[in-house]
Amino acid sequence: MSLEVLSPEELAGLLPAVRAAAEKASAAILRHYEAGAEAVEKADGSPVTAADNDADAIILAALRALTPAIPVVTEEEVAAGRIPDISAGTFWLVDPLDGTKEFIKRNGEFTVNIALIQDGAPVLGVVMLPVGGTMYAASGPDTAVRGRPGQPDEPIRVRAVPALGLTVLTSRSHADNAAVEEFLTGRRVSQKVAAGSSLKFCRVAEGVGDVYPRLGPTCEWDIAAGHAVLLGAGGCLTLLDGEPFPYGKAPTFLNPHFVAWGGA
């Protein structure tokens, strides 16, 4: 496959194989989860487990077979110093186990994240929760769905903000409470709900939350799949000043602060 811009039909055609890769990676993660995998510390101080590495290898192999011409950026590959050339502007972004701290805490709020970036934006994304098997997927505007084991996919959509005020999603293990409170000053808020990993994006996308301000450190692979699902459900993600969010920030892939919004 060339690195020409993929059509909506081509993106939709890739989605089943990407979902299958997420399912396979999730099964591997669950085996480690049930066995009680232990974490070690990476060079940046963040935790990593055998589950991260096994899921990474599964997804990397699947995407390279699916789209040999499209480079794949994964959290574990970057940690190992293996960063492909992404200058053509089309590349995969993968976090094989987003929410390793939640995995270690055994609270179930960790995900597999796979996204395709094209022209600086995520145009396809899959977020899967290994525990329970729920999957969120999208490949463009108005395509976001939630899939559950044994059930047909359900379309999902952001909601209009309730009259009572915003439901705000916050990080469970990466608290930036003071900054979030400052951001919310002057806004009507009904409740704050903590959640792990990219699940926060999915909660906004499926209309049970309204905004997710992230005013702490993240990397592109943490958010790209959730961002794609949010876009597919009618939401948006911007920098704090409202400007579009940039992707392709090699070699660190570190993100500025951002806000994920549901409906108006």
Residue 126's pLDDT is 98
Residue 37's pLDDT is 66
Q: What is the pLDDT along the chain (264 residues), one digit of tens a residue?
A: 446 789 999 999 999 999 999 999 999 999 988 887 677 766 666 777 888 899 999 999 999 999 999 999 999 999 999 999 999 999 999 999 998 888 888 888 899 999 999 999 999 999 999 999 999 999 999 999 999 999 999 999 999 999 999 999 998 765 577 888 999 999 999 999 988 889 999 999 999 999 999 998 999 999 999 999 999 999 999 999 999 999 999 999 999 999 999 986
Domain boundaries, the chain: 8-154, 166-261
| CA-based nearest residue to 93, from 244, 262, 249 | 249
Residue 108's pLDDT is 86
For residue 59, the Cα-to-chain-centroid distance in whole angstroms is: 14
Q: Do the Cβ atoms of 237 and 230 come closer than 8 Å? A: yes
Residue 96's pLDDT is 95
Look at the domain 8-154 and name its fold: Fructose-1,6-Bisphosphatase; Chain A, domain 1 (3.30.540)
Domain over 166-261 is classified CATH 3.40.190.80: yes
| CA-based nearest residue to 262, from 167, 130, 188 | 167
Residue 14's pLDDT is 98
Identical fold, 8-154 and 166-261: no
Beta-carbon contacts of 215 under 8 Å, excluding residues fewer than 6 positions away, are 176, 179, 180, 183, 257
Residue 102's pLDDT is 82
Residue 175's pLDDT is 59
